[in-house]
Every structure is written in C-alpha cells, then in structure tokens.
Amino acid sequence: MRRQCELMAMTCVLVGASFIATACRNARAGEADTAQRTGTHDTTLTSAPNAPANAVALPPGNDNAQGSGEWTMPGRDFGGSRYSPLTDINVSNVKNLKVATTFSTSVLHGHEGQPLVIGSTMYVVTPFPNLLYSIDLTKPGGALNWVYAPNPDPRSVGIACCDIINRGAVYADGKIIYNTLDAQTVAVDAKSGKEVWRTRVGDISIGETMTGAPLVVKNAVIVGDAGAELGVRGYAEALDLGTGKPLWKAYNTGSDADALIGAEFKPFYAKDRGKDLGITTWPKDQWKLGGGTVWGWISYDPELNLLFYATANPGVWNPDLRPGDNKWSITLWARDPATGHAKWAYQFVAHDAWDYDEIMENIPVDMPVNGQMRKLLIHPGRDGFVYTFDRATGEILNANMYQPTNWAKGIDLKTGAPIEVPEKRTHEGVVTKDICPSSTGAKDQQPSAFSPRTGLLYVPAHNVCMDYEGVEANYIAGTPYLGASVKMFPGPGGYRGDLVAWDPVHGRATCDVKEDLPLWSGVLATAGDVVFYGTMDGWFKAIDARSCAPLWQFKTGSGIVGNPIAYRGPDGKEYVAVYSGIGGWMGAVAFPDISLDDPYTALGVAGAVPDLKKKSGMGGTLYVFSF
Amino acid sequence: MSFRFKRWGSRWGLGAGRWAVLIVMMAGFTSSAHRPSPTAQREALRVCSDPNNLPFSDSLQHGFENRIASMLASDMHARLEYTWWPQRRGFVRNTLKAGDCDVVIGVPSGYDMVAATAPYYQSTYVFVTRADAGLSPKSFDDRSLRHARIGIHMMGDDYANSPAAVALMHRGLGANIHGYMIYGNYNEPSPPSRLLDAVVRKDVDVAIAWGPLAGYYARHSAVPLVVTPVSPRIDTPFLPFVYSISMGVRRGDTTRKAFLDSEIVRRHDDIRRVLGEYGVPLVGGS
C-alpha cells in the first residue's frame, strides 16, 4: 500500500489534486475494515505461524506485497486465487455498481485473460496481433499512454486451434511480460513501452503457438507451449527475467532427463513411479509426437517453493494408436522453480480417450482438515472432478464430481486412479454415445476464484455431453482420410452453465447458480463477499459469496470469456474490470464465418451452443465498473 | 520455400505467355483515352490453393492442380488468380468461405464443407518401399509387414488419423507404426514428403501414403522406389483406402459448379494426361 500511495503521489502531482491523502487514508481504512471483518469470521487473510487451527488462508507470501489495490499477476497472486482484499464494493452496495469507463481494443476476437493494474496504470493485452495498451487511470475515463505492437507472424493465425486468444501478461521488475501467438515471449518496459527483450520460445513452422499467461517466480519467467492438435511436443520453459535467456526446459514426454526428473522426484502414487515413463508408456518413438502441452495456468507456493502446472492431452488422436499411459500427458507437476526439477507428479487420466486436457488452475490454500491445518492444492478438473491435493506430497484428499460425469464412477484414493466405465472409452470406428462431460470438459481454461473468507472455490462450469460418432471424409495437405465426428449437446438437467461454490475440504458444492449458456469467463472473489463472473451472452454478474444469491448484473456488448479483476484506482475507489469479446473454442461459434454445418472447424462445439450466434456478436471492449 | 499468407500472396500468378497478353492489353489502355477496354474487365478464375504442397500445388504453379486450374481459366478466357493458404484446419474457412477465392481444385468427393463437383479422378493409398529392400507388401495382411517398420502420416489431435493406422491396429501391428506429422515443418518444401524421405533413408521399411504424393515422389526419387496400391480397397468395418477427388465451390454456387462439371467431362482426357505426367496412381475406370 505504501508503494501504491507513493506512485499515486507521483502521478497525482500532475493533476494537482489534494485527494491523495484522502485516497490513501481511504485505502488504509479499507484494509483495516477487512482485518476487522475477518476477525468476525473463522478466517484470516494472512497466515502467521501461530495461526489458529481453524483458519483458512492463502499461503504466506502468496501475495506479491505490491499493494492490495493492484493486480500484477494473471491470477492476482502467486497462487492465482483471483481474490481481491478490497471491500468498498460489497454485498450491501454492489447493486449500485455503474459503468465508469470503457475502452475498445480494436480487435474483434475472443478476449480471454485479464488486464493488469500497476500503480495508476492499466495494461491490456489483446488477442492476435497481441497489442499491449498502457492506460493512464489518473485521466478522466482513462487515457492511452502508449501501445506496443509485437507484430507476431500472421501464419500463427492459421495454426492456432481455438481462436487467436491471449490469456494476459504478468508484471515484474518494471516489465510487462507476455506471450505472443507466434510462440515468442516479450518483455516491455512498463513506463516507456519500449521492448526490453524478446525470446522465440517455440516454432510455428512445426505448429507451436503460445496463448497462456506467464508467471514470474524470482528471476524466472515461466512459460509453456500450445499446439497439441498439430502433434507438438509439450514443455514448460523458464526464461531469465533480466535477459529472456532460457534457464531450463522441462518436456512432458521423453526421457527422465528431458522431463527434469531426478533424485528429488517423489510421486505419491505407485502408478506415477518408474524410470523414463515418458518413453516407456508410449509405442516406440511416438512420444516425439506426444502432445502434453502447457497452455493453461501456472501457480506457485513461496513457502514450499513449488511451482504447479498441469499438462494437456496426448497426441496423436486415436487412443488405439498409442497403447500405454502416455505420460506425462494430463499430468499435474510440482517443480522447483529455480531448476525446474520435478518434486512430484500426478497423472489425472492415463491413456486419454476424450481430450480431457487438464491445464486448469491449481490454487494453493491452507485449510483445516479434520482439525489439522493442511497445505492444500485445489484443481477443478476438465474431467468432471474437483481434486483436493496435499500440495507437499501430491496425495489426493478428496476428488468428487461437480457436474454430470459418466466416464468414471469416481477416483480411487488408494491408487489415485479413476474408476473408469469401459463402455465410455472411445475407439476409432466405434460409435460411443452420451459421454459426459464432452471434450470441452466440466470446465475449460476459464479460471476459478478462491475466497479465504468463505473457504470456498468458485468454479465456472459447463454441463455439456457428447456422442463420439462415425467417420467422415476429410483432408489435410491434399490427403483425404476419415475423421471421427464429435457431436456435443447439453447435459442432463436443463442448463449448460453452472457457477459452483465448492467446499474443497469436504469435497461438495455449497450453492450454485445455474446458467443457460456454458460459462467461459473466469471468476473474481472479493473481501466484500461478492463473486463476479460473466456469461457468453454478455451479462456481467455479481452474486453473494455465501448464498450464491444474485445481487447485480449488467449487459455488456459482446459475450464475456475474460476474467474479471478488482483494483483500487488513483482516486482511491475500488473498480471492477472485465473484457467483453466473444471467442475462444466454444465462443467462436458466434463468429459469422463459423457455420453451424461445419463440424471440423469448431471441433464439435457447435452442437453445444447452436444459439450463440443469436445471443452474442463479436466485440473487444474493456468495461470498468464502480459507484 | 517460405509460407505465404493469403493477403501477401500473388493474386496475379500469370505465366510467361500471359504476361505478353497483359503487356499488349496495357499498351492498349494507354493509347485509348485511359478508358479500360472491355477485355480488361474479363472474369477471373479465383483459386484457393496451398503454396507449398507438391505435387498438388505450389506458389510457382508447378503442381498438377495448378495445371488443371490453368486449363479451366483458359477455357473461361479468364484471368487466373490465386489465394494462397496452407491446406490445414481453417483452409476452406479462410479462403473459399471468406469469399477470397471461388474454387478448390482438389477435395474428397464426400467433403461436406464445400459443394463438390463430380469426381474427376480416383486414387488410392499405396505401399512405398525401396526397390532394393526385398519387401513389397501388396496387402495389409501380407506377412512381411509383421516385422516391418511402417511409416504413416499422423493427422494431429482432431479425432483423426490416417486410415492405415486403423488397419494396422486391427491387425495387431500398432507397435510397428512410425508416425510422421502430415503438417511437417512448413519451412521445408512439401512438408508431407518427410514420410517418403524416411523410406529412402531406411528409417522405415515401408511407408503407407496417399497415392498422388507417393507416385510423384517415386518418379523423382534418385533411389528407385516401388509403389503398390494397398489391399483391400475398403477394409472392415467401413475403412476406405480409395477416394474420389472432386473440385469444390461454395454451397449454392450452382452456376460455377455446373461449369466445372461440364469441364470435367469435356477435359477428361487432358486432365488424365496431366495426372499421368505427375505419376498419380489412378484406380477405377482409368
């Protein structure tokens, strides 16, 4: 907070306002208010060594200590909690929320990800061509400082699987750092907008793209690749924060040496132990085309010094072609961020037959389990289960369904393996009906939020199932072949989207909000006990974090697939911001050039949201709300 | 060979002979009161094509699909324009459906993203071996495949793969498969050809490839290769290795489709001759 007030002082000198002191006083009052409120609940915001056994907390050091009003990382803090300690906007007054300002990004494609706020400046990264805007929040309505254009190679547009999206930037060491669609990582000076370094991480000539947001841990910028659809071999890579030079690279297929697996590697379950499993769980040499990319969310626990991320589905398609577990696809890694060395791993789904890639968020929280404080890691899965791990060891404490799921009956906590339903496994040339969830999962990349005040995870979920059907003629590069057709359709229950408040200790939902359309936006939870999310038809909504009761909503111009943030403006007021711009895998159905009779382009999702074209036009606007 | 993005690609891909015509036309403009002559506004045949995929097409127009396109343009007395885009996911969406071009010269006849014309040729998947290999399988059931290293194309992660993969799996030969991504590295010429390079280099004993690619490659290979159609033509359950190829236009573009259908009949022998020059293995009434 002190740093923020200094920044505010610097910028506010320009406008000659005398409100700085007031603003900072208000800000402190807000924090004090938070502390007072938390005392009335069985929760604390920061966990001290002598914290009571019944406290719920984000891990110590989780916050970046750059001021409670800022949003400097993709998920706000190292853990990606998407929890803001701001309280000005709360359950009693959120109904008065109004649009404060808007900003057009000039790009009409899926706006996944979220802006950053550092001091009195907001940073917005657009979908391809991946422009970076710097917006001065001290000016009325926000004024553009500068725009940085990385000029990514246009051929990446033809390669990206599921729209040309970008999931945002991270701030560290005076730099805004993000990935471009053509698989480069760029670092831009946050003040001047000048490029500091640029590193080519992947090669689009072989189908590698990058869509995820980096995370910075000490001097390491952690990034990962996308493009499993084109047979890319997945990896995570660390780049030096100062220079962009590679520090380490951990592959998700291949030898233990390639996967940075050594003496420190201690998986909890026997199924994940063995030598060179990244080779031996594949047919000969096929690990080279093995998929398992890292295009989702990365998190970090400073106390245990563990980096967490999970990997995508294995390539190539047709599970019959790759007998074996196909490690390390669909695997959660815990690694040392300095060396990349693996500490433990857990493969969610061995030998995937459904495209259940598990690149979803992994959020570290400290909560009491059976009267004992435990270091947990929550992973709401694509495969229909929310997993609660002991993050030090990789042991699953509970894993329960949160949406209609029938490919497995449950997760065997002794072996760590799913209890599969064999008739729901897909095989090429075989029709398999009514598989839940569909390939889009019970959720996809859109990230959850966790509130330490309620101890609940707020999960944006889908309820969509699929038929895996027969063959159809297709072609690539002049070569005809037969592909399976996947037809998706709404799951049972008469709803397609669900905002689920999930108790990770007991592994159960406490309340939820059923939505007509599948939820493709992320979630924000605040210390005002308000939870924000958006819908694919453009409604931005606020609900009560404890009861899930609807409190407020506003209709934006296009569908929301971005992730809301909260920040304190230079005027001392709390603001909530979110992108409105339909797109992404499911959202691309809204695009005029995607026809509903085109099953290949949208990979089957057209059947899940055939009505989306009528419900959202394309857009690319940042909306900011306050009183 | 570098990638060409469609808007950067040459839309005036004119052969040498046509340059001469153009120059005469332009000379005509300058001497006729700056008014475009009626011939300058003649129709264009706008073709959606891959700039790096021989023997089918390339940006130098050396592919057999380029030759067929020239033939059509000549019959129409039309200019020939190309929109270049790799034939991958999004090809039809970004070219034909975007309205940037009007004809795809080669698509499978059952391809439902376009309105397909009558088929104008039929080819087959083939076995490709070195002539000196002492191995020339004729069927998926050939005993010689049991211990062979078999190269096939991989299509990626979109619920799809080469039909050869399924035929081999059904025979318990999955462990023999060596996969080569059909996308390859687009900085290299004709990326799908890496599968056939593997036969020449003895990385695999046999490749199973789509006929036109294999026939052309074998014709130009310094190492003698043997190209043999696979058998059966249709494996069980429904798994065809023989495909008919049509031209594709946008749905509803019936006038153009009717013209192309009539051209396919009228130019049958000329098209066959071009395919023959490129070593395309033809089946069914060839």
Q: What is the pLDDT of residues A587-603, one digit of tens each?
A: 988 888 776 765 445 66
Q: Do B165 and A475 touch (CB under 8 A)?
A: no
pLDDT over threshold 70, residue A38: no
- Name the pLDDT band for A14 (thresholds 50, 70, 90): very low
Q: Is the pLDDT of residue B7 over 50?
A: no
Q: Is the pLDDT of residue A56 over 80?
A: no
Q: Is B254 left (phi over 0), alpha (psi -120 to 50) or beta?
A: alpha
Which residues of chain B make contact with A470, given a CB cutoff of 8 A? 238
For chain A, percent of residues with pLDDT exceeding 90? 73
Q: Does residue A40 carry a pLDDT above 80?
A: no
Active site residues of A: 229, 313, 355
Residue type (1 letter), A551: L
Give the pLDDT of residue A3.
Answer: 35
Average pLDDT over residues A521-548: 98
Q: With beta carbons less than 8 A apart as the criterion, state whether A34 and A43 touch.
A: no
- Evaluate if residue A525 carries a pLDDT over 70: yes
B84: contact with A, CB 8 A cutoff: no
Q: Region B83-97: what's the mean pLDDT?
A: 89
Residue A593: which of B98, B179, B187 has the nearest Cβ?
A: B98
Chain B CB contacts of A600 below 8 Å: 89, 113, 158
Q: Worst-scoring range by mean pLDDT, A69-78, A480-489, B197-206?
A: A480-489
Q: Is B177–A286 a contact, with Cβ atoms under 8 angstroms apart?
A: yes
Rounded distance, CA A577 to CA A566, Å?
6
| pLDDT tens sequence across A80-108 | 999 999 999 999 999 999 999 999 999 99
Which of A295, A311, A321 to mutate to test binding with chain B, by most B CBs within 10 Å of its CB? A321
Residue B57: what pLDDT? Answer: 97
* Percent above pLDDT 70 for chain A: 86
Residues 213-232, chain B, touching A (beta carbon < 8 A): 213
**Contact between A161 and B89 using a beta-carbon 8 Å cutoff:** yes
CA distance A170 to A176: 6
Q: How far A233 CA lies from chain B's nearest CA (Å)?
A: 11
Chain A residues whose CB is inside 8 A of the B93 CB are: 593-594, 598, 601
d(CA A408, CA A406): 5
Of B89, B156, B163, the CB nearest to A231: B156
- Whether residues B85 and A158 touch (CB distance < 8 A) is answered with yes
Cβ-defined contact of A229 to B93 (cutoff 8 Å) = no
Decide if pLDDT at A31 tops 70: no
In this prediction, residue A591 carries a pLDDT of: 86
Contact B93 A286 (CB under 8 A): no
Cα gap A435→A464, rounded to integer Å: 9
Residues linked to residue A580 through DSSP beta bridges, in sequence order = A621
Cβ separation B186–A155 shorter than 8 A: yes
State the pLDDT at residue B170.
80
Region A196-214: what's the mean pLDDT?
92
Question: How does pLDDT run across B159-191, given as a tens digit for each residue?
Answer: 677 889 888 888 888 778 888 888 888 889 999
**Residue B109 in contact with partner chain A when CB distance is under 8 A:** yes
Query: Mapping DSSP to helix (H, G, I), strand (E, B) and coil, where does residue A31 land?
Result: helix
Q: Is the predicted pLDDT of residue B10 greater than 60, yes or no?
A: no
Give pLDDT, residue B155. Answer: 78
pLDDT band, residue A289 (cuts 50/70/90): confident
Query: Is residue A52 scored above 60 in pLDDT?
Result: no
Q: Which residue has the higher pLDDT, B46 or A159?
A: B46
List, for residues A215-273, the tens digit of each pLDDT value: 999 999 999 998 766 678 899 999 999 999 999 999 999 999 999 999 999 999 999 99
Which pLDDT value is given to residue A374?
A: 96
Q: Examine the pLDDT at A28 and tell me if it is beyond 50.
A: no
| Average pLDDT score over chain A | 88
Helix ranges (H only) for A223-334 are 277-280
pLDDT at A30 over 50: no
Distance from CA of A102 to the nearest CA of B (A): 31
pLDDT on residue B113: 87
Q: What is the pLDDT of residue A117?
A: 97
For residues B142-169, average pLDDT: 85
CB pair distance less than 8 Å for A158 and B156? no
- Distance of alpha carbon A398 from alpha carbon A395, whole angstroms: 9
A430 pLDDT tier (thresholds 50, 70, 90): confident
Instruction: Identify the closest residue of chain B to A283 by CA–CA distance.
Output: B175
Question: What's residue A19's pLDDT?
Answer: 29
Single pTM value for the model: 0.82
Tell me the chain A residues in contact with residue B193 when contact means C-beta distances shorter than 8 Å. none
> Sorting pLDDT into bands at 50, 70 and 90, what band is A118?
very high
Reported as a single tens digit per residue, the pLDDT across A144-192 is 999 999 999 877 876 666 789 999 999 999 999 999 999 999 999 999 9
What does the pLDDT average to over A521-547? 98
Is the four-CA dihedral B124, A600, A592, A487 of positive or negative sign?
A: positive
**Looking at residue B11, what is its pLDDT?**
31
Determine, for residues B108 and A231 on separate chains, whether the beta-carbon distance falls below 8 Å: no
What is the mean pLDDT of the segment spanning A578-582?
A: 98
Residue A202 pLDDT exceeds 80: yes
Q: pLDDT digits over A360-372, tens only?
A: 999 999 999 999 9
Inter-chain residue contact B3 with A601, CB threshold 8 Å: no
A319 to chain B, closest Cα gap in Å: 9
Residue B8 has pLDDT above 50, yes or no: no
Average pLDDT over residues A284-290: 83
pLDDT of residue A12: 31
Are A251 and A235 spatial neighbours (Cβ–Cβ below 8 Å)? Answer: yes
Q: Is B265 on the interface with A (CB under 8 A)?
A: no
Quick one: pLDDT at residue B112? 83
For B2, nearest residue in chain A (alpha carbons): A205
Rounded to the nearest angstrom, the minimum Cα separation between B163 and chain A is 6
Among the partner-chain residues B165, B192, B238, the one whose CB lies closest to the CB of A321 is: B165
- pLDDT per position as a tens digit, B198-250: 999 999 999 999 999 999 999 999 999 999 999 999 887 778 899 999 999 99
The answer to whether residue B69 scores a pLDDT higher than 60 is: yes
CB contact under 8 A, B53 and A477: yes
**SS3 assignment for chain B:** CCCCCCCCCCCCCCCHHHHHHHHHHHHHHHHCCCCCCHHHHCCEEEEEECCEECCCEECCCCCHHHHHHHHHHHHHCCEEEEEECCCCCCHHHHCCCCCCCCEEEEEECCCCCCEECCCCEEEEEEEEEECCCCCCCCCCCCHHHCCCCEEEEECCCCCEECHHHHHHHHCCCHHHEEEEECCCCCCCCCHHHHHHHHHHCCCCCEEEEEHHHHHHHHHHCCCCEEEEECCCCEECCCEECEEEEEEEECCCCHHHHHHHHHHHHHCHHHHHHHHHHCCCCCCCCC
What confidence tens digit (pLDDT) does each residue in A434-445 have?
A: 999 999 999 999
Band of the pLDDT at A5, cuts 50, 70, 90? Answer: very low
Q: Please indicate if any CB of chain A lies within 8 Å of the CB of B177.
A: yes
* Contact criterion met (CB < 8 Å) for A477 and B106: no
* Minimal CA separation from A131 to chain B, in Å: 20
User: In the predicted model, is pLDDT for residue A51 greater than 60?
Assistant: no
Q: Is it the case that residue A32 has pLDDT exceeding 50?
A: no
Testing the interface with A: which of B52, B97, B125, B157 to mutate, by most A Cβ within 10 A? B157
Contacts of B185 in chain A (CB under 8 A): 203, 205-206
Q: Nearest-CA residue of chain B relative to A428?
A: B166
Min Cα–Cα distance to chain A from B254, Å = 19
The residues near B97 (Cβ < 8 Å, ≥ 6 apart) are: A593, A595, B113, B250
**Average pLDDT of the residues in B255-283:** 96
Smallest CA–CA separation between B2 and chain A, in Å? Answer: 10
B-chain residues within 8 Å CB-CB of A595? 97
Check CB contact under 8 Å for A230 and B106: no
Least-confidence region, from A137-141, A373-377, A588-592: A588-592
- Residue pair A320/B161 in contact by the 8 Å Cβ criterion: no
pLDDT for A197 equals: 98
